[in-house]
Protein backbone atom coordinates (compact mmCIF):
# COMPACT_ATOMS: atom_id res chain seq x y z
CA UNK A 1 0.00 0.00 0.00
CA UNK A 2 1.24 3.48 -0.84
CA UNK A 3 2.21 5.85 1.92
CA UNK A 4 2.35 9.62 1.62
CA UNK A 5 4.53 11.76 3.86
CA UNK A 6 4.63 15.50 4.36
CA UNK A 7 7.79 16.57 6.20
CA UNK A 8 8.59 20.05 7.47
CA UNK A 9 12.33 20.60 7.93
CA UNK A 10 14.52 23.60 8.85
CA UNK A 11 15.98 25.39 5.84
CA UNK A 12 19.44 25.05 7.46
CA UNK A 13 20.88 21.53 7.42
CA UNK A 14 22.33 21.46 10.96
CA UNK A 15 19.70 23.47 12.81
CA UNK A 16 17.64 21.94 15.65
CA UNK A 17 14.90 23.53 17.78
CA UNK A 18 14.66 23.31 21.56
CA UNK A 19 12.55 20.40 22.81
CA UNK A 20 9.94 22.89 24.09
CA UNK A 21 9.68 24.50 20.65
CA UNK A 22 9.43 21.06 19.03
CA UNK A 23 6.57 20.13 21.38
CA UNK A 24 4.74 23.38 20.60
CA UNK A 25 5.26 22.73 16.88
CA UNK A 26 3.78 19.23 17.21
CA UNK A 27 0.70 20.66 18.94
CA UNK A 28 0.30 23.16 16.11
CA UNK A 29 0.70 20.49 13.40
CA UNK A 30 -1.86 18.22 15.07
CA UNK A 31 -4.27 21.16 15.21
CA UNK A 32 -3.97 22.12 11.54
CA UNK A 33 -3.91 18.46 10.41
CA UNK A 34 -6.88 17.04 12.33
CA UNK A 35 -7.36 13.27 12.51
CA UNK A 36 -11.03 12.86 13.48
CA UNK A 37 -10.88 9.31 14.84
CA UNK A 38 -7.18 9.36 15.69
CA UNK A 39 -6.22 6.35 13.60
CA UNK A 40 -5.84 7.56 10.02
CA UNK A 41 -2.59 9.44 10.13
CA UNK A 42 0.64 9.55 12.12
CA UNK A 43 2.48 12.69 13.24
CA UNK A 44 6.12 12.10 14.06
CA UNK A 45 8.70 14.52 15.49
CA UNK A 46 12.30 13.45 15.02
CA UNK A 47 15.68 14.77 16.11
CA UNK A 48 18.54 13.23 14.13
CA UNK A 49 22.07 13.09 15.57
CA UNK A 50 23.52 13.18 12.07
CA UNK A 51 22.19 14.78 8.88
CA UNK A 52 19.31 12.67 7.62
CA UNK A 53 18.18 12.48 4.02
CA UNK A 54 14.52 13.49 3.75
CA UNK A 55 13.88 11.52 0.57
CA UNK A 56 10.82 12.22 -1.59
CA UNK A 57 10.60 8.52 -2.52
CA UNK A 58 8.87 7.87 -5.82
CA UNK A 59 8.33 11.61 -6.25
CA UNK A 60 12.05 11.96 -7.04
CA UNK A 61 12.14 11.99 -10.83
CA UNK A 62 15.31 13.83 -11.69
CA UNK A 63 18.57 15.12 -10.17
CA UNK A 64 20.64 17.74 -11.98
CA UNK A 65 24.22 18.84 -11.26
CA UNK A 66 24.31 22.58 -10.51
CA UNK A 67 27.86 22.80 -11.92
CA UNK A 68 27.63 21.14 -15.35
CA UNK A 69 23.82 20.81 -15.63
CA UNK A 70 24.29 17.09 -16.31
CA UNK A 71 21.75 14.52 -15.21
CA UNK A 72 22.72 12.53 -12.13
CA UNK A 73 21.25 9.05 -12.16
CA UNK A 74 18.75 8.16 -9.47
CA UNK A 75 20.54 4.80 -9.14
CA UNK A 76 23.80 6.58 -8.27
CA UNK A 77 22.03 8.71 -5.70
CA UNK A 78 20.08 5.87 -4.13
CA UNK A 79 23.24 3.73 -3.89
CA UNK A 80 24.99 6.60 -2.10
CA UNK A 81 22.10 7.04 0.35
CA UNK A 82 21.86 3.30 0.95
CA UNK A 83 25.61 3.04 1.63
CA UNK A 84 25.32 5.89 4.15
CA UNK A 85 22.21 4.28 5.68
CA UNK A 86 20.40 7.57 5.07
CA UNK A 87 22.56 9.67 7.38
CA UNK A 88 25.62 11.82 6.80
CA UNK A 89 28.21 13.73 8.84
CA UNK A 90 29.47 15.47 5.72
CA UNK A 91 27.37 16.06 2.62
CA UNK A 92 30.29 16.43 0.17
CA UNK A 93 30.13 14.00 -2.72
CA UNK A 94 32.00 13.55 -6.00
CA UNK A 95 29.52 14.07 -8.80
CA UNK A 96 29.34 11.22 -11.34
CA UNK A 97 28.74 13.66 -14.23
CA UNK A 98 31.77 15.98 -14.02
CA UNK A 99 33.84 14.86 -11.02
CA UNK A 100 33.18 18.04 -9.06
CA UNK A 101 32.95 17.70 -5.27
CA UNK A 102 29.69 19.30 -4.18
CA UNK A 103 27.55 19.19 -1.05
CA UNK A 104 24.57 16.94 -1.74
CA UNK A 105 22.11 19.57 -0.53
CA UNK A 106 23.13 21.87 -3.39
CA UNK A 107 22.00 19.49 -6.17
CA UNK A 108 18.79 20.26 -8.04
CA UNK A 109 16.19 17.67 -7.05
CA UNK A 110 12.83 17.34 -8.81
CA UNK A 111 10.79 16.92 -6.60
CA UNK A 112 12.70 18.48 -3.72
CA UNK A 113 14.84 16.27 -1.45
CA UNK A 114 15.89 17.60 1.95
CA UNK A 115 18.70 17.21 4.45
CA UNK A 116 17.99 17.91 8.09
CA UNK A 117 18.66 17.09 11.73
CA UNK A 118 15.05 17.78 12.68
CA UNK A 119 11.73 17.00 11.05
CA UNK A 120 8.04 16.92 11.71
CA UNK A 121 6.42 14.35 9.48
CA UNK A 122 2.79 13.51 8.81
CA UNK A 123 2.05 10.10 7.30
CA UNK A 124 -1.15 9.76 5.27
CA UNK A 125 -2.57 13.14 6.28
CA UNK A 126 -6.36 13.15 6.57
CA UNK A 127 -7.20 16.66 5.59
CA UNK A 128 -8.13 17.36 1.97
CA UNK A 129 -5.80 20.39 1.69
CA UNK A 130 -2.85 18.10 1.49
CA UNK A 131 0.31 20.22 1.74
CA UNK A 132 1.28 22.87 4.27
CA UNK A 133 0.25 26.28 2.97
CA UNK A 134 2.86 29.05 2.84
CA UNK A 135 1.17 30.70 5.85
CA UNK A 136 1.30 27.46 7.84
CA UNK A 137 4.99 26.98 7.04
CA UNK A 138 5.66 30.56 8.16
CA UNK A 139 3.79 29.99 11.43
CA UNK A 140 5.55 26.67 12.02
CA UNK A 141 8.88 28.44 11.47
CA UNK A 142 7.90 31.09 14.03
CA UNK A 143 7.03 28.42 16.59
CA UNK A 144 10.24 26.47 16.01
CA UNK A 145 12.48 29.54 15.79
CA UNK A 146 13.81 28.97 12.26
CA UNK A 147 12.29 29.01 8.75
CA UNK A 148 11.10 25.63 7.46
CA UNK A 149 10.24 24.12 4.10
CA UNK A 150 8.33 21.00 3.16
CA UNK A 151 9.28 17.78 1.43
CA UNK A 152 6.50 15.68 -0.10
CA UNK A 153 7.21 11.98 -0.29
CA UNK A 154 5.44 8.97 -1.75
CA UNK A 155 6.61 5.43 -1.03
Binding site for Zn ion (CB under 5 A): 65, 67-68, 70, 95, 97-98
CB of 54 to Zn ion, least distance (A): 23
CB of 142 to Zn ion, least distance (A): 37
Cα gap 49→71, rounded to integer Å:
31
Do 154 and 81 contact (CB within 8 A), yes or no?
no
Q: In the complex with Zn ion, which residue's Cβ is closer, 43 or 97?
A: 97
Residues 6+ apart with CB under 8 A from 126: 33, 34, 35, 36, 40, 41
Ranked by CB distance to Zn ion, the top (closest) residue is 65
Q: In the complex with Zn ion, which residue's Cβ is closer, 97 or 152?
A: 97
CB of 38 to Zn ion, least distance (A): 47
CB of 62 to Zn ion, least distance (A): 14
Instruction: Reduce the DSSP state of residue 78 to 3 states and report it.
Output: helix
Give 92's strand partners.
Answer: 103
CB of 63 to Zn ion, least distance (A): 10
Q: In the complex with Zn ion, which residue's Cβ is closer, 52 or 107?
A: 107
Give the chain's radius of gyration (CA, Å).
Answer: 16
Do 116 and 52 contact (CB within 8 A), yes or no?
yes
Q: In the complex with Zn ion, which residue's Cβ is closer, 71 or 129?
A: 71
Instruction: State how far the alpha carbon of 109 is from the alpha carbons of 29, 49, 79, 117, 149, in Å.
Output: 26, 24, 16, 19, 14
Amino acid sequence: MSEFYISAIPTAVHWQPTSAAAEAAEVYVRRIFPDPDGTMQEVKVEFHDRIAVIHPGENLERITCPRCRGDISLDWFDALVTLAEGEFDNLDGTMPCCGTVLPLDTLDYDWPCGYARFEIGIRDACRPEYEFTEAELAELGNILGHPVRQILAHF
